[in-house]
Structure 1
Amino acid sequence: MELWQLQCFLTVAEELNFSRAAIRLKITQPPLSLQIKQLEKELGIPLFFRNNRHVELSEAGKVFYSDIRQIFDDLNRAAENAQRAHRGEVGTLTVGFVGSATYDILPAVLREFRNLYPLVQVLLHEMSTPTQIEALHQKRIDVGVLRPPVTDDGVCTEIVMTVPCVLAVPKNHPLIDRKKISLEILSKYPFVMLSRKTWASLYDEILARCNPTISQEALEFQTVIGLVAAGLGIAIVPQSAINLHTQDVAYLDLHNQLPMASMGISWRKGDHSPLVKAFLQIAKSTSAN
Structure 2
Amino acid sequence: MELRQLQYFVAVAEELNFSRAAERLCISQPPLSIQIQKLENELGIPLFYRNNRQVELTDAGKLFSEEVQKIFSHLQRAVENAQRTHHGELGKLNVGFVGSATYDILPSVLREFRSLYPDVQVHLFEMSTPVQIEALREEEIDIGILRPPVNSDALCTEIVSTMPCVLAVPKQHPLVEKKNLTLSDLSQYPFVMLSRKTWAGLYNEILALCNPIIHQEALEFQTVIGLVAAGLGISIVPQSAINLHTQDVVYLDFNNQLPTASMGISWRQNNQSPLVKAFIKIVKEAREGNLNRTRGQAI
State the TM-score, normalizing by the size of structure 2: 0.86
Structure 1 residue 168 and structure 2 residue 190: aligned?
no
The separation in 2 between residues aligned to 1:158 and 1:22, in whole angstroms, is 59
After TM superposition, give the deviation of residue 238 of structure 1 in Å: 0.8
Structure 2 equivalent of residue 241 of structure 1? 241
Instruction: Using the TM superposition, name which of 188-197 and 4-13 deviates more.
Output: 188-197
Structure 2 equivalent of residue 90 of structure 1? 90
After TM superposition, give the deviation of residue 285 of structure 1 in Å: 2.4
After TM superposition, give the deviation of residue 53 of structure 1 in Å: 4.3
Structure 2 equivalent of residue 21 of structure 1? 21
The separation in 2 between residues aligned to 1:131 and 1:43, in whole angstroms, is 56
Identity of aligned residues (%): 72
Correspondences of 1:85-234 after superposition (within 5 Å): 85-234=85-234
After TM superposition, give the deviation of residue 199 of structure 1 in Å: 0.5
After TM superposition, give the deviation of residue 179 of structure 1 in Å: 4.4
Structure 2 equivalent of residue 79 of structure 1? 79
Deviations 1:192-214 (A, max 9, x none): 21111110111111222233232
After TM superposition, give the deviation of residue 130 of structure 1 in Å: 0.8
Query: How many residue pairs get matched?
Result: 289
The separation in 2 between residues aligned to 1:23 and 1:251, in whole angstroms, is 80
For structure 2, which runs of at least 5 residues remain unmatched after alignment? Answer: 290-299
Structure 2 equivalent of residue 55 of structure 1? 55
Structure 1 equivalent of residue 255 of structure 2? 255
The separation in 1 between residues aligned to 2:19 and 2:160, in whole angstroms, is 61
The separation in 2 between residues aligned to 1:121 and 1:217, in whole angstroms, is 35
Q: Which runs of 4+ in 1 moved over 6 A?
A: none
The separation in 1 between residues aligned to 2:24 and 2:194, in whole angstroms, is 70
Counterpart of 2:272 in structure 1: which amino acid? Answer: H
Instruction: Using the TM superposition, name which of 274-283 and 1-10 deviates more.
Output: 274-283
Instruction: Using the TM superposition, name which of 198-207 and 264-273 deviates more.
Output: 264-273
What is the DSSP-based 3-state SS (H/G/I as helix, E as strand, rest coil) of the residue aligned with 1:196?
coil
Structure 1 residues 246 and 60, CA gap change in structure 2 (3 angstroms): same
The separation in 1 between residues aligned to 2:91 and 2:286, in whole angstroms, is 22
Deviations 1:78-101 (A, max 9, x none): 222222222233333222221212
Correspondences of 1:35-50 after superposition (within 5 Å): 35-50=35-50
Counterpart of 2:14 in structure 1: which amino acid? Answer: E
The separation in 2 between residues aligned to 1:42 and 1:232, in whole angstroms, is 81
The separation in 1 between residues aligned to 2:2 and 2:55, in whole angstroms, is 23
Structure 2 equivalent of residue 65 of structure 1? 65
Counterpart of 1:159 in structure 2: which amino acid? Answer: I
Structure 1 equivalent of residue 9 of structure 2? 9
Deviations 1:156-194 (A, max 9, x none): 222222222112122223333344323333334332211
Please report the RMSD computed on the Cα atoms of aligned residues, expressed in angstroms. Answer: 2.2
